A and B are shown apart, each in its own frame.
Chain A
């Protein structure tokens, strides 16, 4: 099967870039969403087991949330690059 590469200024590049941006952000938000749900469940259960450790658990929860959120934002950056830099 012969695969042809599109020339750089072709009109189909815009169409594929739009499609790729949608796929990137859509599929890229599945993992962090599930991860944040598991993180919040663990935090809720830990607070329920030991309410006096609330402060430490809340701090750890925020740290985990920031790191998991970053993975979704890498996909966002790729989507923005595809929409505004690849398309002319």
Chain B
């Protein structure tokens, strides 16, 4: 995927580095420079947008292939909703967008590209996945407060009212921090799951490619077959991780909207 920088195996891992194109000075510790990670995020978002826009433009009564594909993805998003409550059915487009963005980003990252265009997979960067998880987390809190009010939403973190008052106050002391920690752990687990799955597959493929280019034959023959099998497995993992990310987003968002505890 990346030409070696003359360094053998470690040179092939150069694809996991971020190269800055336009340097923008820091705004209070945040670095807004344009790097190849930023360009590839824009490119994936553009591909997703163009795919769905063209499918909507050429919509007709007897759908062609592109329109069928877009409708399949939107139906997939619609079938994910309605797990806990029917109030969440109108946000199905969020899950369809998240799924297609993650899937298309990982697919673009798996295509072998020359080193001249600085190839990079954005989801192999903890900043990108953490930003997506933070957006889901903020949306969860927003939906919870909008549907129940602040008092009602905090009361979902406490024990139910059926338990008698003395026992309830004593157990709330333990229950409330545990629930808060459980909520705070969710964006962390979402982001680390996607990031670690993507980067583990990429490291394996790149190390094998580096070995193939360094020790030509006969070690290269076997590692070539392994790289082919590993890339096929990575496509499967990309689909599964996109599905799990969107499914867990549905569970979290609808869990915040649900009426009863």
Residues of A within 8 A of B (CB): 62-63, 65-67, 69-70, 73-74, 76-77
Contacts and interface: CB of A to CB of B under 8 A. Distances in A.
Nearest to B247: A63
A49 B189 CA distance: 34
A62 B189 contact: no
B243 interface: yes
Interface residues of B, number: 12
B115 interface: no
Contact of A66 (B192, B193, B195, B200): B193
A74 B192 contact: yes
A77 B189 CA distance: 12
A65 to B, nearest CB: 7
B196 A66 contact: no
A43 to B, nearest CB: 14
B240 A73 contact: no
B241 interface: yes
B121 to A, nearest CB: 16
Main secondary structure of the interface of A (DSSP, over half): helix
A69 B197 CA distance: 8
Contacts, number: 31
Given A66-B193, A70-B192, A76 B241 contact: no
A77 B192 CA distance: 8
30 contacts: A62-B240, A62-B243, A62-B244, A63-B244, A63-B247, A65-B240, A66-B193, A66-B240, A66-B241, A66-B243, A66-B244, A67-B244, A69-B193, A69-B197, A70-B189, A70-B193, A70-B196, A70-B197, A73-B192, A73-B193, A73-B196, A73-B197, A73-B200, A74-B192, A74-B196, A76-B196, A76-B200, A77-B192, A77-B195, A77-B196
A87 to B, nearest CB: 15
Contacts of B197: 69-70, 73
Interface of B: 189, 192-193, 195-197, 200, 240-241, 243-244, 247
A66 B196 CA distance: 12
Contacts of A76: 196, 200
Contacts of B193: 66, 69-70, 73
Contacts of A73: 192-193, 196-197, 200
B75 to A, nearest CB: 15
A56 B193 CA distance: 23
A7 to B, nearest CB: 28
Contacts of B192: 70, 73-74, 77
A65 B244 CA distance: 10
B74 to A, nearest CB: 18
Contacts of A66: 193, 240-241, 243-244
Nearest to A66: B244
